Structure 1
Amino acid sequence: MRENIRVLAMVMVAMSLFSFLYFDQGTATYYTPPYPRHACHGYQNDGVMIAAASDAIYGNKAACGRRYSVTCTGATNKEVPHPCTGQSVVVTIVDYCPPGCRGTIDLSREAFSVIANPDAGKVYVDFHE
């Protein structure tokens, strides 16, 4: 009986570690100020560490207000082969990036600059809530 409890406890710890380390992967682009009306909150000032979500994560406004940690993982642009800064940024989803959006998540220029060289324009990222 004790052995079963010990095994169950180890499985639960392993599962919690897996969920903590899980990242979604995609691409990030950026948009520039001014940041006018947003799909989520209208004209509310949400600061500059913000992002627009593509259909991949928007969920008909379900992503509004969610905070995502975003980390650059690599280049998509041969002209800027090493764009990543090695830092992560936390952004709040405040807008919708409509069909045709070039990235999974469209960051404000300020947020993109934290994780990558803006000259890259688009980078591969890991992101999670």
Structure 2
Amino acid sequence: MAMPKVTSVVLAMVVSLAMVSLVAGTAGTATFYTPPYTPSSCHGFQNDGTQIAAASDVFWRGGGACDEHYVVQCTGATNEGVPHPCTGRSVTVRIVDECPPGSCRGTIDLSQEAFAVIADPNAGKINIEYRQYVSSVAVPACIYL
């Protein structure tokens, strides 16, 4: 009878560790760009909506970031112009473009609409925490020891 308890404990540990890796974020900065959002490096003239972003060379990977989703949250101001820019919300964006080398002033360049979800656009540039959004976590149904 001890086997089911061990399996449950191991399964709970696997799920807990998976959740920790999904929650932990990476520090960076965000700026925003304004319409028109086409053409984009990933999809040309396709309309990708407004919850989008351009990746800096930090994670562009030669186009490998196209269509990846990132959850972005403001963590604070980068200047004294807007001392408390954060709204307390987060936004999930899809990478559809590349920040041209040298022109990206942040880790990620959000659409103006996505930036406004998480911060006052008057800030221009903010400190953020971001993580890649993973839609599902594969967890084994049974673990036998």
Q: Cα RMSD over matched residues?
A: 1.6
Match of 2:117 among 106, 114, 119: 114
Q: Where does structure 1 lack aligned partners over 5 or more consecutive residues?
A: none
* Equivalent of residue 59 in structure 1, options 58, 61, 64: 61
1:82 and 2:84 correspond = yes
Could you tell me which runs of 5 or more consecutive residues in structure 2 were left unpaired when the two chains were aligned. 133-145
Residue type of the alignment partner of 1:115: I
- 1:99 shift after superposition: 2.0
Give the one of 11, 27, 46 matched to 2:29.
27
Q: Quick one: which of 36, 39, 47 aligns to 2:38? A: 36
Q: Rg: which structure is higher? A: 2
Distance in 2 (CA, whole Å) between partners of 1:74 and 1:123 is: 6
Return the alpha-carbon distance in structure 2 between the equivalents of residues 35 and 16 of structure 1: 35
Question: Normalised by the size of structure 1, how large is the TM-score?
Answer: 0.90
Distance 2:7 2:93 in 1: 40
The C-alpha deviation readout for 1:15-74, integer Å capped at 9, x for no partner, is 123212121221100001122210011111101111000011111111101111111011
TM score, norm. by length of structure 2: 0.81
SS for the counterpart of 2:101 is coil
